[in-house]
Amino acid sequence: GAVVSQHPSWVICKSGTSVKIECRSLDFQATTMFWYRQFPKQSLMLMATSNEGSKATYEQGVEKDKFLINHASLTLSTLTVTSAHPEDSSFYICSALSSGQAYEQYFGPGTRLTVT
Amino acid sequence: AQKVTQAQTEISVVEKEDVTLDCVYETRDTTYYLFWYKQPPSGELVFLIRRNSFDEQNEISGRYSWNFQKSTSSFNFTITASQVVDSAVYFCALSEALDNFNKFYFGSGTKLNVKP
């Protein structure tokens, strides 16, 4: 089956620093990737849609300048949390859309970010 | 309005009991997909099933079964003879043709506790 990896799996950073999270599709090409955020005991909320070679599309209420998304290749999308604050602490999950099956999203294992 | 409703926030059962997790969805689209995912404490989403709107056949996979009823806009999930390893948060999700199936609308999740 299709595999999506995320790196790092967890990260602790100090307030004011930036953190980059990578999402890779390991055995398939993904023209579209998605970034979700999940607060404790809550559901997944879509943050943005990342398209290879173009600008990401952000959901309403998500700050574009704070959550920078880059989808430079068909297998890699990155999410950079800039000037992180404690309220950015969350579980970030990416998913990748298989170009062969438009309805199938494959989810990464998630990255737990803690900002101190 | 919530597109996917999981009214049960948390359910506790004793091992070997059967348990049904409810999912009610809302869509104006005639073509859509419904999903169930399991999220164990590790956080990684585990895909369980995908159903398209044209296939109302119930499905059984081992101890798992799904009841899709368009008349009531429900896609319920039953675990037969529950086991401790079934303890997790379960999410129901919807994707629609209107969004090219790109957007996943997740329910709020149901936490299942299976006690020995």
Closest CA to A28 of A54, A55, A52: A52
Q: Is pLDDT at B67 greater than 90 in this prediction?
A: yes
Q: What is the mean pLDDT of residues B49-67?
A: 92
Least confident of B18-22, B56-60, B82-86: B56-60
Nearest to B43 among A42, A91, A97 (CB): A91
**What's residue A68's pLDDT?**
96
Q: Do B104 and A46 touch (CB under 8 A)?
A: yes
Tell me the nearest-neighbour CA distance from A49 into chain B, angstroms. Answer: 8
**What's residue A99's pLDDT?**
66
Chain B residues whose CB is inside 8 A of the A10 CB are none
For chain B, the farthest-separated pair of C-alpha atoms sits apart, in whole angstroms, at: 44
**What's residue A103's pLDDT?**
66
CA B66/CA B22 separation, integer angstroms: 10
Between B99 and A107, the more confident residue is A107
Count Cβ atoms below 10 Å from residue B55 Cβ, excluding itself. Answer: 12
Q: How far is CA A40 from the centre of its chain?
A: 17
Task: Find out whether A34 and A48 touch, Cβ atoms under 8 Å.
Answer: yes
Helix or strand or coil: residue A50?
A: strand
**What's residue A52's pLDDT?**
84
pLDDT digits (tens, 9 = 90+) for A27-62: 888 888 999 999 988 999 999 999 888 889 999 999
Q: Do B45 and A107 touch (CB under 8 A)?
A: yes
Q: What is the mean pLDDT of residues B45-69?
A: 93
Asked if the C-beta of A91 comes within 8 angstroms of chain B's C-beta atoms, the answer is yes
CATH of B4-115 given 2.60.120.10, 2.60.40.10, 3.20.20.10, 3.40.1410.10:
2.60.40.10
**What's residue A84's pLDDT?**
97
**What's residue A100's pLDDT?**
63
Q: Which residues pair with A40 in a beta bridge?
A: none
| Three-class secondary structure assignment of chain B | CCCEECCCCEEEEECCCCEEECCEECCCCCCEEEEEEEECCCCCCEEEEEEECCCCCCEEECCEEEEEEHHHCEEEEEECCCCHHHCEEEEEEEEEHHHCCCCCEECCCEEEEEEC
Mean pLDDT across chain A, nearest whole number?
92
Q: What is the mean pLDDT of residues B97-116?
A: 92
Nearest CA in chain B to A38: B43
Q: What is the mean pLDDT of residues B51-78?
A: 94
The residue behind tokens 């798992």 is: B64
Mutate to test the interface with A, among B6, B10, B39 (most CBs of A within 10 A): B39
Q: Could you give the C-alpha distances from A114 to A77, B19, B89, in angstroms and in order?
A: 21, 35, 22
Residue A81 is classified by DSSP as: E
Nearest to B91 among A43, A105, A109 (CB): A43
Q: Is pLDDT at A102 greater than 70 in this prediction?
A: no
pLDDT digits (tens, 9 = 90+) for B9-50: 999 999 999 999 999 999 999 999 999 999 999 899 999 999
Q: Do B44 and A107 touch (CB under 8 A)?
A: yes
Domains of chain B by residue range: 4-115
